[in-house]
Structures are given as C-alpha cells and as structure tokens.
Amino acid sequence: MNTPFVYGKLPQEIDFTDREREIVRLKNNFNSLINTVIISPRRWGKTSLVKMAALSAIRENRKLKIVHLDIFNIRSEYEFYLLLVNEVLKATSSGWDELVKNTRLFLKQLIPQVSFSPDKQSQVSFSIGWDELQKHPDDILNLAENIAIKKDLNIIICIDEFQNIASFEHPDAFQRKLRAHWQTHQKTAYCLYGSKQHMLMDVFSNYSMPFYKFGDIMFLEKIPAEDWVLFIQKRFTDTKKEIPIGEAEQIAVLADNHSYYVQQLAQQVWFRTAKRATPEIVESAFEDIISQLSLLFVNMTDSLSKRQLSLLNAILNNENQLTSKATLAKYNLGTSANVIQLKKRLIELDIIDEMKGQIQFLDPMYKHWLATRYFTVR
C-alpha cells in the first residue's frame, strides 16, 4: 500500500492540505495577470501551493498558460535565458512542429537551433555569441509576451528559487533589465518565490532594489494544528487505519506545524501503525527522525563559531533581552554589536529568522536536537 503522506516531492491534489485562501488569492492573481511574490521559510509548501493554484486556474481558463522555471542550478544570465526560452516554448507549443515554428518566428534574430534528444525532448540553443546576446536580450525577455499577443493567450511565468539571481555576475544590472521589460507586459505576469526568505525580503522589500513593489506580496503562515489534525486523521482513515485526535495533534505539535516535517512524521507513524496509532508510536517515530538527522545536524553545528552557538543557546532558553548586560555576560556574547552581527549571520545561514519581532528556529527538528542532544551534554 502506498503511503498517504508525501514529503520531499510535489504532492498530488489528494496529498495537499489547507491553503484554500492562498490558492484562491493566487488563482485570482493568475487570472487577473497580477505579478505575485511569495515569501516564507523553506519547506513550507510554496512550490506545492503554486502548482495547485496553477492546476486549478488552467482548468477554468483555456487561454491561460503556466510556465514553471526552477533556477536552483542556474548560475549565469546566459543559462537563465536558455531555460526561460525552452520552458516558454514548451508550455506554449502543442508539439515539435509548432515549437520549431515558434522558435523561428519569435527568435529569428538570435539564430536559434532546435535539437531533439533520444527521449524526444526538444531543446533550443543559440548560435549567436554571448556578448551579442547580452546586448540584445529583448527577444528573449519579451518572448512570452510576444507569443501571448500573437496567440491571444495569457501567460504566467512562475520562477522558483528566484533569489539565485543574486549570485549572477552584475546582479543589480540584471534585475534592472528584467524589471524594465517585465513591467511593460500586459498579457504576461510573473510569480516569483524561493527558499531563502531573508534574500527575497531584500529583493522585494528594499526600496533601493529594482524589484521593489513589483507585485502582490504573499507571506505564507504555517498551517494551523487543527487543520493538520483533520488531514492526518482523514489520511489514516482512507487507508483503513486509525489515529486518535490526541495523537494527530501530537504529530503537529512535535513538528511545530512545519509542512515538511508534519508529513514526514505522519508518514513514519503510519508505517509503524498496524491498526491504531498510540502516543508511544508517535514518540518513537519522532525520535527516530531526530536520530536520522543527527549526522547532518552535527556537521551543521561544527561549522558554527562558539559565539554563534552561544547565541542559539540563549534563544533556546527564551532570553528576551539578548543585548542586555546580564545575557551578554551569561553566554559570553561580547558586546551588543556582536549579537547583532551574530544574529545577522545565523539568519543568512537559514538557521533562524525574525518574524513579527520574534526570533524563531527555521528547522524545528534542529531546535529539538540542540535542546536535547547538544547543549544538555556539554
């Protein structure tokens, strides 16, 4: 029997829970061609949300085309252009013949070449040199808009890991180039998101950055425990197993309502349950996950400085005034300026974040490991 809980890959519709309001809002933005920025910590379900909203939107609107780009492994402006071209052409072409025709029609100035791999996947490349392409990117950056106008379509381009453009050569100039083209589009809109919350906040909330106020900014919240409880119980029932409300809530609490870890813990509990889950099964599954992650957490912790670890310890102990003299002395943190820099670096490392004035650990399992298996034995 297939497990009813999914993590680490995109879920099917039956595996997706909650986010009804976010799906409606995002779908409305798609249909209205409103640019959207989605910001939340990693593994909170941004990509799944976009996929679900896209599926729902295209079912209702035959003229809507959704293009999905993941630029996690894209390291240059040229690679970005190639990916953008290929994904736009694939999403707006019904087959090989139309793809070749569209390539020649809309990119003729770039001397494109279309090749086909043994698995019948088409790929567009360019004969034109990078220096020349860099000077004249208009055909590529306006490709979706030109196709949308020609074919009377609406196109949404969804770009995952958008913060990676900060690693390109001359990133500010590239962002200005993108903004200059994309803000003129009338039949194409953009949905931008990624896994580095602090970097995305800088890109979209800093008034000095090119993408400041680019579109509707959606800040995702955690899915509430009560919604997780209903979802977990239903998935158990659907597979002829049972989990009481207390144990389902125990899963959500232990995983701190973190989408990835709730699904993982629920899956491990389901595997261990023959007929009815118990608190002991939940606790055992939770401790096994912590043990499995221990080597990763050890390596992560070994890379941190003593004062970074001291600050994490202070946060774990719920110290409210991190820069007070008492806290600085108790945890040997040096000066208040040191604390500011330490906190900034830990945010950059995606270990903590500051949300609504509260410092939180982004990984609840790492937080538990530090509290129960690191600081307690030192």
Confidence of residue 313 (pLDDT cuts 50, 70, 90): very high
pLDDT tens readout for residues 28-80: 999 999 999 998 877 787 888 899 899 999 999 989 999 999 999 999 998 99
DSSP state of 110: G
Q: Does residue 18 carry a pLDDT above 70?
A: no
Q: Does residue 226 carry a pLDDT above 50?
A: yes
CATH node for 306-377: 1.10.10
Please report which residue ranges of 276-348 form alpha helices under DSSP H. 279-302, 306-316, 325-330, 336-348
Confidence of residue 137 (pLDDT cuts 50, 70, 90): confident
What is the per-residue pLDDT for 122? Answer: 67
Fold of 225-299: Helicase, Ruva Protein; domain 3 (1.10.8)
Domain ranges of the chain: 19-94+137-219, 225-299, 306-377
The average pLDDT across 324-343 equals: 96
Query: Which residue has better confidence, 189 or 119?
Result: 189
What is the per-residue pLDDT for 332? Answer: 96
Token pair belonging to 22: 């976010």
pLDDT tens readout for residues 265-291: 999 999 999 999 999 999 999 999 999
Helix axis angle, 245-254 to 279-302, nearest 10°: 10
Q: How many residues does the chain have?
A: 378
What is the per-residue pLDDT for 67? Answer: 97
Share of the chain above pLDDT 90, in %: 65
Share of the chain above pLDDT 70, in %: 93
Fold of 19-94+137-219: Rossmann fold (3.40.50)
pLDDT tens readout for residues 78-124: 899 989 998 999 999 988 888 888 888 888 777 777 776 655 566 77
Q: Does residue 371 carry a pLDDT above 60?
A: yes
The pTM assigned to this predicted structure is 0.83
Residue closest to 39 by CA, chosen among 208, 160, 168, 189: 160
Helix, strand, coil % (nearest 5) of the chain?
A: 55, 15, 30
Query: Which residue has better confidence, 354 or 155?
Result: 155
Asked if 19-94+137-219 and 306-377 have one fold, the answer is: no
Answer whether 290's CB lies under 8 Å from 368's CB: yes
Least confident interval from 36-45, 60-69, 174-183, 331-340? 36-45
pLDDT tens readout for residues 235-250: 999 999 999 999 999 9
Phi, psi of 37 (to 5 degrees): -120, 125
Please report how many Cα atoms fall inside a 13 Å half-sphere around the Cα of residue 306, on the Cβ side.
5
